Chain A
C-alpha cells in the first residue's frame, strides 16, 4: 500500500511557495525536501539534508545558482545537486560523487509535484486550464490522507461568480485515494474544484485545492476567503474525527548511505580515456576572431556537476581527443560551454571543431575533471589570461562574482576582435580588464605592475600561452609571491619528452611490479598490466593521471607540477614522467 503511494506523483508545494531565492521546506510520506528555484527557473527538489552532517538544507541559502548549507558553507549546484565547494579545504576540488539525493519536479496546475519513485505520468485533470485557475491556500490537517480524501467528497462550495449565494448543486466528478474533483453549478455559473491531498506523513496531510477559472480582482479575495473558511471548518471536523482514531506510527524516512566511493578509491572497470557522456551541439558561434564557441547540451538526463577550472575531453568525429575548459558560471548546469581557438598548426583537433562539427551534431565527452581548483578564501584573487586561456578563468571569475568575493581578470590579447565571450565579460563588469596590443616587453612591464607588491591573502591564477605563463610565474616569484599562491594551467606540454629510459615500477596497492620499456609510458605499462588510472591530455599538462610516489626518484617531464611538488618527489604524472632510479614504487 505504502509502496503504491510512493510511486505516485503528489503535490508538495504551490508554485507561489518558491519566490526568488527562497528555500521551501516540503514533506511527503515522512520524507523532507528542500525545494528551491534557481534564477534560471529550474525547480530543485532535494533530500532535506546536507550530506556532510545532516543539517536541513531548507535553512540554507539559495544564491540563485547554488544552495549553500548554513553549517559549513558547502555548496551544491542547481540541477545536479553535486557539491562544488568545501570551504574547510579551499585548495581541493570536492569529489564529483558528493551528490545529494534529488527528486523529480514538475510544475502543473499552479503546484509543484514530486515523488519518491515516480512510475507513470502526472495525473491529468480535465477542465482546469493551465492559464486560468486559482490555487487555494494549502490547508494542513492532522489526519491521514485516506480519511481526508474520503471526507472531501462531501465538501460543498459555491461557484466563483455566485460566491455569496447559497443552494448550489454539487456533482462528484471523480474521486481517488489522493484527489477529489467536484463541480459546483448554479444556473449558468459553474466552477470545477479539484482537491489534491498531499500525504505529509501517516497522520498528517495537506489539502491543495485548485479551482477552474481565476475570478476577477473584485471577487478574488471573497473566493479565497470563502474556501479558506469552508476548508478550515472541514479541517476542524477531520481533526476531531482523527483524534478518536488510533495514532498511526509516523513513517521513518530511509536515508541512502553515501557511496562507498567516498570512502575508498573507485574501481575502474574499463580502460583508457572515457567518454561516457553524449551531448548535442545546441549552438555554435564565432565568439572572437579565430575562436568558435560551442554550447553542449545533454541528449538525455542531466550533465554531471562541475567546478570552476574543470575541463572535459571532447572525442572528435576524426578520432582525436582534445581538452577544453568549461566557461560556465555556477549553477549553469543545463549546458557546457567551451571555446575553441583555431590553431594554425592544428593536427586536426581545432580544425575539425571549426570546420566539420555543426549544430545538432552529437559528440562524446568525458566527465568534467578539475585539476585547476579555485580557492575562495582569499581577500583578493588576480586572474591573468592570455588569449584563449581566458576560458577556465571566466568560470572562476563568475564564481567569485556570485559570492561577492574580490577579484580582477586581466585579459591580454592583440585587439578587441580577439576577446572572446563578450556577454559573459559584460556581466562581470569592470572587474574584467582587457590589455590590448601590447608588445612582449610591454606585456612584461604591465604584468610586473599588476603583480607588485605582493599582498598577503591574495591568490594568482594564470592561463595562457607557454611563454606568457612562464614569464608571469617568474615575475610573480620576483615580486615575492609564495609559490602556493600562484596557480597555473598550461595549454600543452611543449617539452620534448625523453622516453628512452627503462625501469621497473612497483604498484603498491595492486601488488604488481611492471617493466616500463623505452618508448612506453608508465600509464601505458600500467594499463597493459590491467591497472587503470584516469587520464586526459596524456601529455603532462592537465594533471589527471597524477599518482603518489612512495619510493624512488621521479624524472619529471610534465608542466603540471609546481617546483616544490617536483622537489618533494612524492607526485608523478604517469603519462610523460619516468624514473631516474631503477625502481619506482607508486600508490596504485
Chain B
C-alpha cells in the first residue's frame, strides 16, 4: 500500500519540507522521498538549490525557508506558510530535529493535537496520573480555512524546558494545512506571550513520514540546545506509540475508531480532511 503515489491535487501543488538545510552537505546529493516520488536534493554553494525527481530527471519547484528545504511536485498554488512570530527578535528560531516515523503523517498531526495522552505517554513531563481530565475546549474552522482549538488547558509537571514547577498550561492548536500543525503554549516566564512549535511533516509515502519540528521559543532564560533536547525527549516518547497504531493510515470513517469529547479537535480535523478530499495518508470515506 505504501508505494502508492499521491493523487490529491491540493497536496501535489503544495509545498512540503524535504530536508533540513543545515544537514545538507555542500555539493553532495541527498536522496529522499515525497509522496512516493524519489527526489534528489543538491545544494551547490549558498544559493544553487536543485530538487530533481529521480524517475524522470526533471527538476521540481524548490525553495529554502525557516532553515528547511521545501519542494512542490506540481505547480505551487500558494506560498510557503507564513509565520509572523519569526519576525520577533527575542525568539529562538531553530529546528528541533527531523525524525522519521513509520506511520501516516496525518496520524502524527492528530497525535500532536491530543492532550489526553500526556499523563500516559509523557509521564512526569507533560502530564501525570491521576490528573488525567481533559477539560472542554473550543474548536472552530477559521476564515483562512484552518482548524483552530482554543481554551485548551492541561496540568503539566514540566511543561517546557524553562518550567520549574507544575503549571496549568494554556494551549492553542492550529492545523494550517493537512501536514502542517502548530501549537501556541503559555511561556512559564512571560505569561502574556506564547511559545510556538510548528510541525512540518513530510509525507514520505502513505505510511511513512518525517517530522520536522520548528521551535519559536522566547529566548529569555532558555538555551537553544535545551529547547532542542526537550523537543526530542518529548517526540521520542510519542514515536513508539505512533508506530504501534493500526492501521497506519488515518481512517476518516467516523465509525472506524471511537472518539470521545476530549477528541473534538481530531474529529474536526478528520472531517476537515474528508471535506477537502484529502486522501493521501488516509483511509478515505466517501461523504
User: What secondary structure prevails in chain A residues at the interface with B?
Assistant: loop
A260 at the interface (CB under 8 A from B): yes
B262 and A59 within 8 A (CB) = no
A378 CB within 8 Å of chain B: yes
Some 17 contacts from A to B, beta carbons below 8 A apart, are A52-B257, A70-B241, A71-B121, A72-B117, A73-B132, A86-B260, A87-B119, A87-B129, A88-B132, A258-B258, A262-B255, A262-B258, A376-B130, A377-B129, A377-B131, A377-B133, A378-B130
Cβ–Cβ contact A49 & B246, under 8 A: yes
| B interface secondary structure, majority | loop
- A51 near B: Cβ within 8 Å? yes
Cβ-based interface call for B74 (8 A): no
Contact A52 B260 (CB under 8 A): yes
B66 proximal to A (CB < 8 A): no
Determine how close the nearest CB of chain A comes to the CB of B282; give it in whole angstroms.
Answer: 13
**Contact partners of A257 in chain B: CB under 8 A:** 253, 255-256
Distance, CA A55 to CA B244, complexed state (A) = 5
Residues of A within 8 A of B (CB): 32, 48-49, 51-56, 59, 70-73, 86-91, 98, 255, 257-260, 262-263, 376-379, 405
| Contact call A70/B132, Cβ cutoff below 8 A | no
Residues from chain B with a CB closer than 8 A to the CB of A89 are 133-134, 260-262
Per the bound structure, the CA–CA distance linking A258 and B132 in Å amounts to: 25
Determine the chain B residues whose CB is within 8 A of the CB of A260 once the complex forms: 255
- CA distance in complex: A98, B255 (Å): 12
- Interfacial chain B residues near A405, Cβ < 8 Å: 130
CB closest chain-B residue, reference A91: B133
Q: Chain B residues near A71: list those with CB within 8 A.
A: 117, 120-121, 241
Residues of A within 8 A of B134 (CB): 88-89
- Whether the Cβ atoms of B132 and A87 lie closer than 8 Å is yes
Report the minimum CB–CB distance from A361 to chain B (whole Å).
38
Chain B CB within 10 Å, residue with most, of A91, A258, A260: A258
Contact of B255 with A56 in the complex, beta carbons under 8 Å: no
Please tell me which one of the listed residues A51, A56, A87, A262 contacts residue B116 in the complex, with CB atoms under 8 A apart: A87
**Interface 1/0 per residue, B109-143 and A, CB below 8 Å:** 01000001101110000000111111000000000
Given A51-B258, A71-B121, A377-B130, 11 more A-B residue pairs with CB atoms under 8 Å apart are A32-B246, A48-B246, A52-B259, A54-B247, A73-B119, A73-B129, A88-B262, A255-B246, A257-B256, A258-B257, A263-B254
User: What are the residues of chain A within 8 A of B247 when measuring CB–CB?
Assistant: 54, 255
Looking at A48, A53, A87, A255, the one whose CB has the most chain B CB atoms below 10 A away is: A53
- Distance between Cα atoms of A51 and B117 in the complex (Å): 15
* Least distance between A32 CB and chain B CB atoms (Å): 7
CB distance from B264 to the nearest CB of A (A): 11
Cα A270 to Cα B82 in complex, Å, equals 59
Query: Which of B110, B131, B245, B260 gathers the greatest number of chain A CB atoms within 10 Å?
Result: B260
Instruction: Determine how close the nearest CB of chain B comes to the CB of A50; give it in whole angstroms.
Output: 9
Please name the 8 residue pairs, one residue from A and one from B, whose CB atoms are nearest each other, closest first. A87-B132, A88-B262, A88-B116, A257-B255, A88-B134, A56-B244, A377-B130, A51-B258
Q: Bound complex: CA of A377 vs CA of B130, how far in Å?
A: 4
Q: Map CB proximity to A onto B236-272 as digits: 1 under 8 Å, 0 otherwise.
A: 0000110011110001011111111110000000000
The closest CB in chain A to the CB of B131 belongs to A377
Partner among B131, B253, B258 whose Cβ is within 8 Å of the Cβ of A52: B258
